[in-house]
Amino acid sequence: MPTRGELVALGLSASCAEVLGHLWDYLDDEIDGAGAARMRAHIGGCAECRAYAGAERCFLQGLAALKRELRAPRLLRERVARRLQREGCGCWERARRKDAG
């Protein structure tokens, strides 16, 4: 956990220690109900931690948005399809028919 000195250097009180050390676990939904409730209550009542949590959410949303940007190129799909067909797999044709249907 963060030391008192580290917290003071950040301009935060010792009561923010749990939030600082576990904010990402909380935002990742990796904390159990009681712990999450404790985090939620602290963040709701602490302007500093609320601002920090908001910034972290924004950062994580930016990372999550990268998923929408990057898709497998068409040539790669065709290459995988050809390789699987050589292996005797008719799955690609099935998927194509399904897409067309």
Spell out the residues 6+ positions from residue 13 whose beta carbon is closer than 8 angstroms to its own: 7
Is the CB of 40 or the CB of 78 nearer to another protein?
78
- Nearest partner of 23 among 3, 13, 38, judged by Cα: 38
How many angstroms separate the CA atoms of 61 and 73, rounded? 24
In the bound complex, what is the minimum distance in angstroms from residue 40's beta carbon to another protein?
17
Is the CB of 9 or the CB of 37 nearer to another protein?
9
In the bound complex, what is the minimum distance in angstroms from residue 62's beta carbon to another protein?
4
Is the CB of 70 or the CB of 100 nearer to another protein?
70
**Cα radius of gyration (the chain):** 23
In the bound complex, what is the minimum distance in angstroms from residue 82's beta carbon to another protein?
9
